[in-house]
Amino acid sequence: MAASVIRKIGVLTGGGDCPGLNPVIRAVVRKALQEGIEVTGIRNGWKGLLEKDTLLLDLNSVSGILPKGGTILGTSRTNPTQDPKQLARLKDHFAQLGLDALIVIGGEDTLGVATRLVKEGFPIVGVPKTIDNDLSETDYTFGFDTAVNIATESIDRLHTTAESHHRIMVVEVMGRHAGWIAVHAGIAGGADFILVPELPINIDEVCAAIRKRHDRGKTFSIIVVAEGAEFAKGQTVLRDKKLDSFGHVRLGGIGDALGEIIEQRTQFETRVTVLGHVQRGGSPTAFDRVLGTRFGVKAVELALAGQWGKMVS
């Protein structure tokens, strides 16, 4: 596609937040301003475009946000493609705001909406985002490194209390469809067993590994489990049955289920820790700040080159 004249760029963050979003926003704003482009921040993902809830982003708005977790723009899991009226409103607002380009920072759902709009001719560039690190065409997404570091530190801390009390510690980490956080934090933290959504849990194997450790004199073990891990295919443990607007269920509970079975079968006292949203909060690591910054700069370059429908990676 030919390069176009860009005077005004919009930027939004959608889906679950993740450390590194602010570095992307900051880089988008700084690069755009350098190129003489005005930047409109859209609050709370697609919801903000539906409500025309925007703010002007200048150098002052992004000053000091590099080390901050979360997103200064706010986020939501809003799917405007389900209702034709909402979709029409979204398109109207795009035009009314005078946007020559939109940079959409999001995961599979938010970028799915972006793809739909690109097919209808909207000038959109994507930036991939998830702590789960499971987006296709990417090696690393920002937020993942921070989450792995938080989970690793937690496993280190659990080691000392597990050893003192001679307990089995089950640590449930995030990872809806993919076990990247579990595998990286588990290896870095020296876990004795790691369970991921990609493979069914073999409880006999887990218990045998724990017994083997005890037989050689160890009185504690650490088991890391991703929230999406299943005992059998399709049997995901759910917190409740509510669906979000993209049809996703709320995961959570596999750690408790696992802990109960392990204690029953091995007769070793077991405790469960669910790390949850702690993994998504707080300051991004240096790696995530650099990756986010690079993505932000590149996204503006893609817009300047008229590369609509592309995602930086």
Catalytic residue numbers, as ranges: 132
Among 6, 185, 201, 251, binds ligand F6P (CB under 6 A): 251
69 binds ligand F6P (CB under 6 A): no
254 binds ligand F6P (CB under 6 A): no
Q: Name which of residues 8 to 47 contact ligand F6P (CB under 6 A).
A: 16
The count of residues interacting with ligand F6P (CB under 6 A) is: 11
172 binds ligand F6P (CB under 6 A): no
131 binds ligand F6P (CB under 6 A): yes
Bridging pattern class, strands 54-57 and 38-42? antiparallel
**Is the Cβ of residue 17 or residue 38 nearer to ligand F6P in the bound state?**
17
**Is the Cβ of residue 28 or residue 251 nearer to ligand F6P in the bound state?**
251
Among 89, 176, 213, 310, binds ligand F6P (CB under 6 A): 176
48 binds ligand F6P (CB under 6 A): no
74 binds ligand F6P (CB under 6 A): no
Cβ 179 vs Cβ 162: under 8 Å? no
CB of 44 to ligand F6P, least distance (A): 14
| Residue 78 φ/ψ, nearest 5 degrees | -110, 130
Q: In what order do the strands lie in the sheet with 38-42?
A: 54-57, 38-42, 8-13, 101-106, 124-128
**Angle 286-304/21-34 helices, nearest 10 degrees?**
40
130 binds ligand F6P (CB under 6 A): yes
Measuring CA to CA, which residue among 39, 35, 4 is closest to residue 24? 39
Q: Cα separation of 40 and 89, whole Å?
A: 18
Report the residue closest to ligand F6P, judged by CB. Answer: 174
CB of 277 to ligand F6P, least distance (A): 6
229 binds ligand F6P (CB under 6 A): no
Among 47, 129, 280, 298, binds ligand F6P (CB under 6 A): 280
195 binds ligand F6P (CB under 6 A): no
Count CB atoms within 10 A of the CB of residue 43: 20
224 binds ligand F6P (CB under 6 A): no
Residues making contact with ligand F6P (CB under 6 A): 16, 107, 130-132, 174-176, 227, 251, 280
